[in-house]
């Protein structure tokens, strides 16, 4: 497939030979995640998160299908049908809590996966398409998670739907009709709940399809690695199986341990108490807060408090929030540095860590009420967020002098294991 | 092309944000209620933590408080009589208990609205026929359903316990805008300090069958423990199953780690 030394698939058993002629799925698996897919030998634990995201999606789909067997998407009974699952369905409490916390785990691993890509330059040529498809998956995940949160029809479900669909009403002229069209009414109601349920069931399978494209696009150049140096020859790689299946197996175990601890010991830690109150269109909660994984974007939305030019503050906030994700589509061309890995980018590395701190700060601010000092902190945080991608990164990639790089992955690996580790530039 | 355009877009957002910073006042509107609202007091229950169990005697006392005090105004819609077997009652006791309630029904011959004796499969009947009746009888505030109350409030069980035991006279320095409205009661654990519910508990309001002294504090603890159970009857099972799953996965993870080390033993990476 990707490299000439990839081990070819040679079935020996007659049944497998027969299958290979008729429908070569075993060949596909062998070449995609088996011994037929050579992978850089030096991947660190941050390369586990792609597989973990896939595992999280599968768990969401399985638990979700079971939940859909017991859930009713009707405003009169939706809330109680979730409580019916919690109380009367065999192991329903487990399925429901696993689905609820599974969403959080999915976002945790995807955020780590994205920041891994940012640190090691995985979005750069020749992997731009992998990155673009990844951003599409991220957007689909956000839509799916939002609609899923509406389904229990608690107070946060209802008011979250009210606020988020309200973004569309900021669009000049057509905003309000668009919002009503999306909701199927003037406020979130039964039509909204039904379509959200339908789309919440549909989108995970769309995500699955885009993931297949994401992996397909990845397998053409092969995986990036911590040095950012492309694979040169066979000694730079190991076969995916058994090397990375074993490592991913261990990673999956650690992931599941954390998932289990959250689901069984503190299932409501990341949730919000108000969502255990049935939806009530006449009573607005004191603080309407989205789920934690939307908080940085919510902080950017709220940071715009000034009518600038002919655009009012609300529309600025909405545009900025969508732009904060949309700009990721342009990242491969905003960063013109040919060096991928931050290990060899002494200047960009610092800005990367400032970005990590900035996103955490924005997340914290997103949780707070619209009061000082949170408003000014989210404004400063939003300034850095846009400056990082649109101003700093293009400049840094032009003026930065990268550190000396090893000639190959193997050289970097051997330098790390040399008795005098300080001798090689790759020692860091 | 992407970089110059991106630069302009970035400058646009940054300008809007800088202007926003300079036009947003740095001081907050003072919120006087903040200084009077108290943080809930911690309530320790047997169902807490990583090795929880149900204190069945306490849950039974708590149910008695619910039935004799709270149920006058608050429903418990999500709990069926059959569920209280968890509290240590036998099937026969549950049947007898259910029979003590009248639940809405229809006359099987005429179809007219009627009531009948409760069955184990019935849920606790609500005190009011509908929200309008509940509002009319309670100074325009609907008493919330209590089934999920310890999960549906910030502070959970601590909040419920603190609220029940927290009634007091308003402090003398309470500003005029926080003074009590008519028919409201001062409680520093309630977010806006003015609660429509009157102080529900008084010493010896119920007589416990097990001889426990029914102080306000004891009754508040017991009924809160009961409401922790109603909010999540599967809580103890959940944590117990969790440990089994956790240890199973721990063994899996150790084995996965060892096989990972074994497979990579001859490869520098």
ipTM metric: 0.93
Is the backbone of residue A91 left (phi > 0), alpha (psi -120 to 50) or beta? left
Pairing of strands B194-195, A38-40: unpaired
Looking at the partner chain, which of B2, B15, B259 has a beta carbon nearest the beta carbon of A246? B259
Tell me: the pLDDT tens digits for B184-236? 899 999 988 888 899 999 999 999 999 999 999 999 999 999 999 999 999 99
Task: Identify the CA nearest to A389 among candidates B137, B256, B119, B6.
Answer: B6
Interface check for A287 against chain B (CB to CB < 8 A): the answer is no
Catalytic residue among A247, A312, A314, A408: A247
**A428 pLDDT exceeds 50?**
no
- At A154 the pLDDT is 96
Tell me: the pLDDT tens digits for A118-151? 999 999 999 999 999 999 999 999 999 999 999 9
Looking at the partner chain, which of A41, A86, A306 has a beta carbon nearest the beta carbon of B267? A41
Task: Identify the CA nearest to A45 among candidates A106, A141, A119, A145.
Answer: A119
Judged on CB neighbours under 10 Å (0-12, 13-18, 19+), A174 is exposed
Question: Scanning every residue of chain B, which has its alpha carbon at the shortest distance from the alpha carbon of A395?
Answer: B3
B233–A97 C-beta distance less than 8 A? no
Read off the pLDDT band of A298 (50, 70, 90): very high
- At B25 the pLDDT is 83
Three-state helix/strand/coil letters over chain B: CHHHHHHHHHHHHHHHHHHHHHHCCCCCCCCCHHHHCCCCCCCCCCCCCCCCCCCHHHHHHHHHHHHHCHHHCCCCCCCEHHHHHHHCCCHHHHHHHHHCCEEEEECCCCCCEEEEECCCCCECCCCCCCHHHHHHHCCCCCCCCCCCCCCCCCCHHHHHHHHHHCCCCCCCCCCHHHCCCCCCEECCCCCCCEECCCCCCCCCCCCCCCCCCCCHHHHHHHHHHHHHHHHCCCHHHHHHHHHHHHHHHHHHHHHHHHHHHHHHCCCCC
Interface check for A389 against chain B (CB to CB < 8 A): the answer is yes
Question: Scanning every residue of chain A, which has its alpha carbon at the shortest distance from the alpha carbon of B1?
Answer: A333
Looking at the partner chain, which of B2, B152, B154 has a beta carbon nearest the beta carbon of A333? B2
The rounded distance, in Å, linking the Cα atoms of A161 and A192 is 9
**A162 pLDDT exceeds 70?**
yes
Residue pairs spanning A and B at CB distance below 8 A? 172
The rounded distance, in Å, linking the Cα atoms of A398 and A101 is 42
Q: How many angstroms separate the CA of residue A308 from the nearest CA in chain B?
A: 6
In the stretch 292-311 of chain A, residues with CB closer than 8 A to chain B read 303-306, 308
Q: How many angstroms separate the CA of residue B145 from the nearest CA in chain A?
A: 9
Contact A285, B154 (CB under 8 A): no
B13–A382 C-beta distance less than 8 A? yes
The parts of chain B modelled with pLDDT lower than 70 are: none
What average pLDDT does this structure show over A207-211?
Answer: 98
The rounded distance, in Å, linking the Cα atoms of A427 and A146 is 44
- At B27 the pLDDT is 80
Looking at the partner chain, which of B17, B246, B267 has a beta carbon nearest the beta carbon of A379? B17
Question: Scanning every residue of chain A, which has its alpha carbon at the shortest distance from the alpha carbon of B121?
Answer: A88
Question: Scanning every residue of chain B, which has its alpha carbon at the shortest distance from the alpha carbon of A303?
Answer: B17
Catalytic-residue membership of A248: yes
B191–A387 C-beta distance less than 8 A? no
CA quadruple A175, A178, A180, A183: dihedral sign? negative
Read off the pLDDT band of A419 (50, 70, 90): low
């Amino acid at each position: 497939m990707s490299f000439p030394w990839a081990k070819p698939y040679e079935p020996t058993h007659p049944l497998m030979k027969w299958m290979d002629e008729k429908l070569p799925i075993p060949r596909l698996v062998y070449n995609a995640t088996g011994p037929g897919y050579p992978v850089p030998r030096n991947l660190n634990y941050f390369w586990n998160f792609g597989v973990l995201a896939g595992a999280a999606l599968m768990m969401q789909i399985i638990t979700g299908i079971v939940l859909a067997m017991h859930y009713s998407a009707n405003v009169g009974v939706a809330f109680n049908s979730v409580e019916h699952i919690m109380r009367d369905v065999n192991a329903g409490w487990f399925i429901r809590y696993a689905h609820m916390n599974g969403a959080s785990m999915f976002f945790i691993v995807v955020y780590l996966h994205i920041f891994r890509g940012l640190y090691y330059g995985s979005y750069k040529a020749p992997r731009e398409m992998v990155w673009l498809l990844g951003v599409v998956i991220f957007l689909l995940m956000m839509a799916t998670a939002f609609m899923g949160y509406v389904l229990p029809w608690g107070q946060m479900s209802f008011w979250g739907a009210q606020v988020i669909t309200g973004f569309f009403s900021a669009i000049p002229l057509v905003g309000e009709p668009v919002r009503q069209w999306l909701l199927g009414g003037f406020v979130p109601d039964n039509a909204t709940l039904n379509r959200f349920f339908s789309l919440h069931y549909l989108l995970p399978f769309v995500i699955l399809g885009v993931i297949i494209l994401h992996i397909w696009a990845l397998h053409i150049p092969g995986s990036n690695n911590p040095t950012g140096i492309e694979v040169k020859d066979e000694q730079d790689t190991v076969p995916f199986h058994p090397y990375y299946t074993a490592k991913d197996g261990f990673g999956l175990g650690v992931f599941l341990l954390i998932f289990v601890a959250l689901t069984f010991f503190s299932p409501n830690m990341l949730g919000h108490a108000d969502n255990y109150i049935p939806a009530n269109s006449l009573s607005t909660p004191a603080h309407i807060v989205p789920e934690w994984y939307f908080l940085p974007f919510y902080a950017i939305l709220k940071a715009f408090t000034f009518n600038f030019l002919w655009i009012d503050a609300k529309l600025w906030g909405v545009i900025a929030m969508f732009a904060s994700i949309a700009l990721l589509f342009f990242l491969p061309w905003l960063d013109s540095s040919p060096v991928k890995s931050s290990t060899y980018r002494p200047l960009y590395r610092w800005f990367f860590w400032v970005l990590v701190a900035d996103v955490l700060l924005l997340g914290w601010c997103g949780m707070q009420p619209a009061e000082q000092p949170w408003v000014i902190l989210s404004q400063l945080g939003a300034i850095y967020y846009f400056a990082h991608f649109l101003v700093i990164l293009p400049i840094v990639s032009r003026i930065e002098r990268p550190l000396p790089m090893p000639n190959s992955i193997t050289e970097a690996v051997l330098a790390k294991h040399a008795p005098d580790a300080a001798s090689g530039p790759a020692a860091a | 092309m992407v970089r110059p355009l991106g630069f302009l877009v970035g400058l646009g957002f940054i300008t809007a944000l800088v202007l926003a910073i300079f036009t947003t006042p740095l001081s907050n509107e003072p919120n006087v209620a903040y200084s009077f609202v108290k943080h809930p007091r911690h309530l320790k229950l047997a169902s807490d933590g990583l090795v929880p169990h149900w204190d069945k005697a306490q849950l039974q006392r708590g149910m008695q408080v619910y039935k004799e005090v709270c149920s006058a105004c608050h429903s418990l819609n999500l709990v069926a009589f059959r569920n209280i077997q968890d509290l240590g009652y036998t099937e026969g006791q549950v049947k007898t208990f259910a029979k003590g309630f009248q639940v809405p029904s229809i006359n099987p011959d005429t179809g007219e609205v009627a009531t009948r004796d409760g069955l184990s499969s019935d849920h606790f009947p609500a005190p009011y026929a509908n929200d309008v009746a509940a509002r009319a009888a309670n100074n325009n505030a609907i008493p919330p359903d209590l089934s999920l109350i310890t999960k549906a409030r910030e502070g959970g069980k601590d909040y419920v316990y603190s609220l029940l035991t927290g009634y007091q006279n308003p402090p003398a320095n309470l500003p005029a805008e926080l003074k009590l409205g008519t028919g409201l009661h001062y409680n520093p654990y309630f977010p806006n300090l003015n609660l429509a519910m009157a102080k529900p508990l008084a010493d010896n309001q119920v007589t416990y069958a097990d001889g426990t002294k029914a102080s306000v504090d004891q009754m508040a603890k017991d009924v809160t423990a009961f409401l922790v159970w109603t909010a999540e009857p599967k809580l103890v099972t959940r944590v117990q199953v969790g440990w089994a799953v956790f240890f199973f996965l721990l063994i899996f993870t150790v084995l996965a780690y060892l096989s990972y080390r074994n497979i990579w033993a001859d490869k520098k990476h």
